Amino acid sequence: MRIVHIIICCIGITSTYLVTAEAQTSARQSGYQSMSAENQALQDDPNANPAVFWLMDGQTLWKDSAGPKQKSCASCHGESGQSMKGAATHYPKVMSGKLQTLEGQINQCRAFNQGLPQFAYESKQLLALTAFVANQSKGLPIDVQKTANNQSDLKKGHDWFYQRMGQLNLSCAQCHEERAGLKLGGSIIPQAHPTGYPIYRIEWQSLGSLERRLRNCMSGVRAQPFEYGSTEMAQLELYLMWRARGMPLETPAVRP
């Protein structure tokens, strides 16, 4: 009987923990909230936001007919880019059996539909196009759900998030779940919701992608960073976007 009591207590404690863990995630906050007022103002003002030039470059690239087929993004998707409204909120997603990030999808379109070489990760062009596309969804809630198609990738992404890595032997969760809101050095640890990517990170003095930021984190714990465009990256990104589901997209955000 005693053993049954112990088991029931354990179940009770675990379920309470899980319930409160769920309650905690409902108090989610974008990194925007932990920024100084000056940096928030920088993000909010569309003319002063340093990402404005990447958006303009993205718009030019969108309309640029090139390659053997002389096709532009606009040829299929329309001049204004408004057809992309909502698109960025669904990525990463599984398409034809492959987990695809937004950057990956843009490159895929370039190669297959335009017959052009793919843009390198973190290149000005890829950042500009990604920012332009994602900006069409600004204000819309992130809509990455768990489906039969993505559930194994989502599980892997979840595992990456909770797995200790690197010489410092830290997991993402140890800082960004357990210690979010506390300080690391002079900075407030954010909850790490990718609500504004690609972001203008003041530290980079440039626009950059989520993958670049994740690589920074991994170098930060002295782990071997995932490669750009790798499956592990996409899985982690999928988990992070799923974790941020319902939060509004802020692209292009400014972060310190």
The stretch among 18-26, 41-49, 91-99, 154-162 that binds other proteins (CB under 8 A) is: 41-49
Residue closest to 237 by CA, chosen among 132, 140, 125, 121: 121
CA 213 to CA 236: how far, in whole Å? 12
| 212 near other proteins, judged by CB under 8 A | yes
DSSP 165: B
How big is the CA angle at 173 (ends 30 and 202), to the nearest 5 degrees? 45
Give, in order, the Cα–Cα distances in Å from 29 to each of 81, 133, 181, 190, 191. Answer: 29, 24, 10, 8, 7
Nearer to other proteins, 111 or 170 (CB): 170
CA 206 to CA 60: how far, in whole Å? 19
The stretch among 40-48, 78-86, 112-120, 158-166 that binds other proteins (CB under 8 A) is: 40-48
Which of 216, 228, 229, 232 contacts other proteins by CB under 8 A?
216
| 38 near other proteins, judged by CB under 8 A | yes
Which of 68, 97, 139, 186 contacts other proteins by CB under 8 A?
186
Nearer to other proteins, 49 or 100 (CB): 49
| 26 near other proteins, judged by CB under 8 A | no
Of residues 126-185, those binding other proteins (CB under 8 A): 184-185
| 57 near other proteins, judged by CB under 8 A | yes
What are the strands, taking DSSP E only, across 109-253? 183-184, 187-188, 199-201, 206-208
Residue numbers at the binding site for other proteins (CB under 8 A): 35-39, 41-42, 47-48, 50, 52-53, 56-57, 184-187, 189, 202-206, 212, 215-217, 219-220, 225, 256
